[in-house]
Structure 1
Amino acid sequence: MPASEPRTGGGAGVSKSADATDDRQVEAAAFESVAVWGREALSLSRELKGVSPRAVETKADAFDLTTPADAAIERRLRERIARAFPTHAVIGEEQGSSDGPHDWQWVLDPIDGTFNYFTNLPGAACSIALRRGTELRVGAVVDLTSGVVFRARVGGGVVSDDGPRTSQHTAAGRARLFLEWGSERMGDFEVDMLGTLARVRPIVPRLIGGAAFALLSVALEGGCFVGLGLRLWDVAAGVVLAQEAGHRARWWYGSSPVVHVLVGTESDVDAFAPAVAELARRSDARAQAIA
């Protein structure tokens, strides 16, 4: 590993089907669409913010939450995709994947950081990405706190509602190391993970509780991101933004559909990759599947 890694290489806002043979036309239409869809997702998240706690359900554990907003946003995004890109597949956190021989696939996380969203903490985001085969091509991250939609397409840089964004990498920003793992719980392994990474070089660890928001922070202000035991929808859009901001991503795969990813500057990725690879092996039941 990494093997067959994701690479970066309609509806409202689109008046005609974008299923063109020209990949650039598809990507251009997708890039415009996600701006509109992101604002729709933001509106739904705010509209459903005050839902009764009784409507909130748990998934893997007592702190792995799903709210009516999660389901409503993913349903809306799927409707928009089906209308604008009818031959595209979709994989999402809430409703799974549409199988079949599709060249293009949308990767959705309606609310990444649902615990933050439900408990009124910053760090929740909507994540929308498009890939062709294994190549991530378009991504949008909607900061549900600030209400800003950030998006990128391969070769086009990062754009927000206010126009193109340039990275502001200060020494303090570069010192940040964002950690995310596939659970809200923190045990001995997670504590040891922090120590393992700190031994590589001095770091300022940050635990946001949302991979998409953490990757957005890396794209805008610098730093490094380590995600272990995540799903593709957690990180797909954020990786597109980070890479378009000049960062490098390295992937490892474990027990499907688990992914492990390291994002940072070239020197950071080279420095942390051996430690992250070892942590990925230790965290995954199919350690031999990760190279």
Structure 2
Amino acid sequence: MSKIEYLSLEGLRVDGRRLNELRNAEILCGGEFGVDVINYDGMAQVTQGLTKVQAFIKGPIEMVKNKQRCPYETKDDVADIQCEVIMPCEKRSMPSKSERQTADLMQAVITTFERIIIPHQYKNSSIQVFVNILEADGGVKSTVLNAVLIALVDAGIAMNDLIAACTCIMLNGQLFIGMVHENGNIWLPSDPNQLEINGAVMELTVAFSTSTDEVRTHTTLFTLLQIIYIDLSSEHPIKSITEIIESSMRGSKQFSELARTKLKKYAENVLELNSIIHNL
């Protein structure tokens, strides 16, 4: 079998993108994707490349006192978040692996959003998050986090900040020769598809706060950026992850700009519709 050329001599990846170019992304809010909005307080669908994720929010819901907590609920000093994740049918062929992936995604959602949801606003209440992964083609965790963020905004959940997540990978050492260098820095592929992830020796998913201004210095690009969530898996020792995090940060910033534009337009449409209804 011939070896897969993940990066061509022209600097293009297997799907035709440049090294740090994100896949085409689409954000749908509320009832824009044809789901019954009566049963949920907020919903969103985020598509990144061939990865498609829906997120649904119920809450805040008043909790029953002394109820039995499930293993994936949070502590008393943070917002009480319950999460359920449904994987695509083809991902459920091996139950043990699917269960580990599901548990990992659930914990990622809870760990991320318990840090930015304002807890005192929801005392004795819980927020239920339902995630439906329709299609998975790489970058699933970052797409899930982005979809849940949009759904929480749609539900009107009070948060300290918005976040944006991105996945970055490192391929085998032979491919570093062909990687693009700019100002002496190596640019690593961000927002990978599943084929690229299968050939990667390192995978990093990072969620950043989005309101902090970008600060560029000669040593680092994320000095004042707050990392809300980070997940690193690597098959070999890494001396420094500075360049890897910078690549993920650039991808997160691109999605953040898209999300802010979408949410602003969606809010304007909702306000206009409410104005029309109240004037009838």
TM-score norm. by structure 1 comes to: 0.30
Bigger radius of gyration: 2
Q: Which has the higher contact order (CA 8 A, sep 6+)?
A: 2
